[in-house]
Amino acid sequence: MPIATEIPAPAPRPKRRKALWLTPLAVIAASGGLAYAVTRGGDTVDEGFKERPKACSEAMYAMDWVLPDHASDQRCTELTGGLAGHTQSGTFRMPRADVRPWLASLPGERNRREGAGSDSVVERKEGLALDILRPPGRLHADEVRVDVRWEGGDTAAVTFETFDY
């Protein structure tokens, strides 16, 4: 009669320690790569937006426009950096009688808004408005919005803003 012998179970293997340090290392590497991709290596986001004063005649020249001869109280700025692209804005005053001829002289593709005249200028009780798409010049703006507000009997306040989509 055979003797039943029990075969001992193999000894349990020692638990393998997973390399716990690999997980945080992978997370850090992935986060760093993502941050680099989003900021493009720090080219734009680190600098942020920069706003600086700019001569209104220079801002107009960048769009192949000419600042009116009798413009006064000029305040123009340029915004660069970040995701804004390159935009300009400004205000100045000019004689009311010269506004419509000046608007008609501005080069660029006209965006015909509802209520606009044959020259694409919108006439309102408080002033005029004009939208220019892709003005010529070195600025390469997608759109320029010009808003004119009547001030008193013979003065107009002109505001313009460029957009780079």
pTM of the entire predicted model: 0.68
Residues 107 and 121 in one domain: yes
- Cβ of 17: how many Cβ atoms within 10 Å? 6
Give 117-140 pLDDT, tens digit per residue: 778 899 999 999 999 999 998 888
Amino acid at 126: E
In degrees, rounded to 5, the angle at the alpha carbon of residue 68 between the alpha carbons of residues 62 and 70 is 140
Q: Which residue has the tokens 């340090």?
A: 21
9: in domain: no
Residues 149 and 130 in one domain: yes
Residues 58 and 27 in one domain: no
Let me know: does 52 contact 93? Beta carbons within 8 Å: no
Can you say whether the dihedral through the CA atoms of 74, 56, 51, 143 is positive or negative?
positive
Residues 94 and 148 in one domain: yes
2: in domain: no
7: in domain: no
Cβ burial of 160 (10 Å; 0-12, 13-18, 19+) is buried
Give 73-125 pLDDT, tens digit per residue: 999 999 877 655 668 999 999 999 999 999 999 999 998 887 787 788 999 99
Residues 42 and 55 in one domain: no
Residues 40 and 58 in one domain: no
* pLDDT at 21 > cutoff 60: no
Residues 54 and 42 in one domain: no
Let me know: does 50 contact 26? Beta carbons within 8 Å: no
Residues 55 and 84 in one domain: yes
Residues 36 and 104 in one domain: no
Residues 126 and 60 in one domain: yes
Range of the domain at 116: 50-163
Domain count, the chain: 2
Give 28-60 pLDDT, tens digit per residue: 666 665 555 555 554 444 456 788 999 999 999
94: in domain: yes
4: in domain: no
